Chain A
Amino acid sequence: MRACALFSSVLTALGFAVFVATALPPARAADAPDPAADAKAFRDYFVKKFPKVKLDDFVNGPYSMNEDMRKQWEEKEQFPPYEFALEAGKEMFATPFKNGKSYADCFANGGIGVRQNYPMFDEKEGKVVTLELALNRCREANGEKPYSYVKDEMASLTAYMAFTSRGKPFDIKIPADPRALEAYQEGKRYFYTRRGQLNFSCATCHVQSPGERIRAETLAPALGILNAMPIYRSEWSGMGTISRRFTTCNSQIRGVPLEPQSDEYRNLEYYLSYVSNGLPISGPGARP
């Protein structure tokens, strides 16, 4: 009788445990990636560090934190240095490929006003697809040679596409696919990992030191740093893509850059874009 009661109690306890385990959301391990929490912490960090800068203004990089530079930039914007690239990009975008199709056939909404959705996670491929990569894949699918990821044609095309998205908030999605979460996490790891002989990470400059000078350059905050891409840089005397920005950053810290659109850079772009969700696209931009 007593054994029977004990057995019944054990069954009840087990049943309760099963109920609790299924009814409550699964507990998150301390190290498990939580992109939404990351993005909030990321934004809070910069807002707290720069209380005078309006949230949307972070996309203007160093101009958001240096009054003199801002004035010069506002004057330059009357005749922006990226204007030629923008015009060229518009024309390239509208010119059909040899097979009669065009870029518009490769993108949602004919490629107009979609910049804020890139990079996106392609569940078929299981990898991140950036806008630059999607443009070259579009070219190759239509029998055209791909463009260099770091040169003018790609910068012009992305400049035009960014321009059609100006003001639209970054809207990067991480689908319920463990590979997407892993890509995000890998991008985060790359962002914070020190590399190169100078032992710098992306965060060393763009989290720990935005607004500070490194030689003649004022460092931009990481929050919103990709919203203005591609950019015309006076230092380059020309336009530069996100690929160019990443590879140049690596060289500057004496690291051998990875190949443009390598998995690492694609994941980095995914992470950096996601944590700037909600901030408006401002590209193409201009920087010193």
Chain B
Amino acid sequence: MAGDTYRIAIVGSGPGGLSAAGHAAKLGVSHVLLERTDHLSDTIYKYQRGKYVMSTPDILPLRSDMPFGAGKRESILDHWNKQTAELKVNVRYNSEVKAIQKKDDGVFHLTCGDGAVITAENVILAIGLQGNLNKLTCPGGDLPLVQYQLDDPEEYEAETIVVIGAGDAGVENAIALSKQNNVVIINREGEFLRVKQGNLTLITNAIDKGVIQCFYNAEPARVEPDAIILNTADGEARVPCNRIIARIGAAAPRKFVESCGIKFPSADRAALPEVSGTYESNVPGMYIIGALGGYPLIKQAMNQGLEVVEYILGNKIAPADEPLLKKKFAGLGDADIEAVIAEVRATIPVFSGLNPLLLRETMLESDVHVLKAGEVVFRRNDYTNSFFTILRGGVAIQLSPTDPNVVVKLPPGAFFGEMGLISGRRRTATVVAASDCVLLETPRRTMLKLVKSIESVRRTLDQTAIMRQVQTHLAPGVSTEALKPLVETAEIKRFKPGELIFAQGDKGDDMHLIRSGSCTVSMRVGGRDIVLSYVPSGNYVGEMALLSDSPRSATIRAANATETVRLQGDAFKALLEREPELKAKVEAKFRQRIMQNEQMTRRPEAGNIIQFLIEQGVGEGTDVLLIDESLCVHCDNCEKACAETHGGISRLKREAGPTFATIHVPTSCRHCEHPHCMSDCPPNAIHRAPDGEVYIDDSCIGCGNCEQNCPYGVIQLAAPPEVKFDIFSWLLFGKGPGPGEEMSYEKKKMAPGEKVDKPKRAVKCDMCKDIAGGASCVRACPTGAAMRVSPEEFMSVALLTK
């Protein structure tokens, strides 16, 4: 074999390399796939047994001759092995490539570990990063109790295991092991900075609950046969253990890559080699795909594998998402996608800062709407929270709820719908197409990701959003021109839950418009703080000190994660002088507040209830189930009703949860403004319905992220329950489980020890959105103790409680 020169030699049989080899085999191109180990795709082979492998980005189509979809590690490897055999891919196992040299005739010589030399015209480097795991460098790092991977966490039981490394791999291992072992995790930093949101919640919860012990700011000093010695801030600490699992990352095998002649752009340890648009490196004929080229996702790498083979063969191939984008923009006529993307970039400033790949991905996730003049985009008080941009034509925003002729028109390039996105609350205005227009609707999740990661998107968004927020919530009817001097003083402030916004007695020279989250107003009366009111987003605070030219009369704290627009007092006062109508309105509100505060200081217990509700996280909810304990007879009919109307599984635990005075907050979904459960849902199965209900659709894969992310414990994973029969069939013939009963009925027939092995899915309260007549729990309460309230109603709940 060594005598023949292959057209393509592929180094590494990971997703990228395998896909490239598969395509070459299919096309009949002479090729060889060199794999270091005796099996394909070693990185995925070494994943935890049974690990669920994601296929993100979901929207990107797979273009490869190898199959791939989200699923268990085992099934993915199975499919690949089968397909590799079927396509007769020429794999050479146990062939670690030690050196690659380009000879003068342009032919690459690849020297393998066994001394064999393979020659090829082109080389595809698809070696990834995981082949080069970082090892413990401290003394004893080579002892047998140290391992660098975890195959099956259930293999170990009742051991003390030290996990080193605070990245995703370390955290995932630690959590999986903690089910039946005593786990200690070592974090070099003071917190977990490098992990996915879902893993962060998991690990912090586990540490808080004492399930996992964590050493922060600690590093291994040395390893002994039955313990590890750590260097911590307080000196050395000895942790006896049975096993050490080090997950301290991987780096580009730089030495090897450089020895092939490939240059790195910087000396940074994390730096990756640069490649051209056709994945070619600075060495002609040598291509780099996958994680080493900067694309760590499986699907990306597989697509690149196919593309790179086409490029080597001299074919120009359009990106994999081209047909999808064509379909998406079909409404524009037979448009050239390159041109449309260019138009988006040129027209819409929010998106112009995105790199080509990201812009295409964003477009793929967005919807294109072609509307006729007069068509409604969305209505006031809808609970949708997507983000719209105008590509062509224009829209009119109806500012007044009563008069549809009071409008603001937006031109191409402008965006709207950002208020719902930011505050997580209902739409504040109805928007209609002013002329025939083309709109792009980008989903909340995509937009939040962009705002979080791309500075230019956030900047562009904020500038316009501040003006609109001021116009909507503070000064309706005042022109943009007139507001300009005020808005120019504005800045966005972020507050953590419980953080002080300003304190009673402070000098007041600014005011805050709450744009997301909410706050509490409290006052010191008789030496203690009394909560006077709860202020949800869309309201302003701090104007009282400005209007009366006196120090702050009350303390304002963020009730949950809150963003405010801080406006300067002088500019605001100047605005009021210019706008007498606005001044009258603000003063009316000022008087109303003074009265309300006066009323509340005489009813401190009502303030305590507000405080209690906010401590329970009710403040970030949009619709919360509360139980009036002065009426509740503990009949649990609410729970039974919930179970009965949701196929046997109650999403509500009445008794669990705290009580204050006579208000009880049962364990039940609050339908948060910014739902924690939505933050890390791989299939994007959690949505908010137009009426505000947060619900999970049938695409749930049962991964449990939402269950972990919910701070209120209201999501559970459950298998579909048994069939229920009519009440009379149960009463007279004993069929099925009775009303409100668990589904234990069918289980009687099973052999002892047998388990129901049905796939579990996440279930939570959906506010009975599919049932006419409202939430079953409230309707089934015989004494009227159960109620659903929104934060705006707290004041009345609190005031009326006796």
Q: Please indicate whether A and B come from the same complex rather than being unrelated chains.
A: no
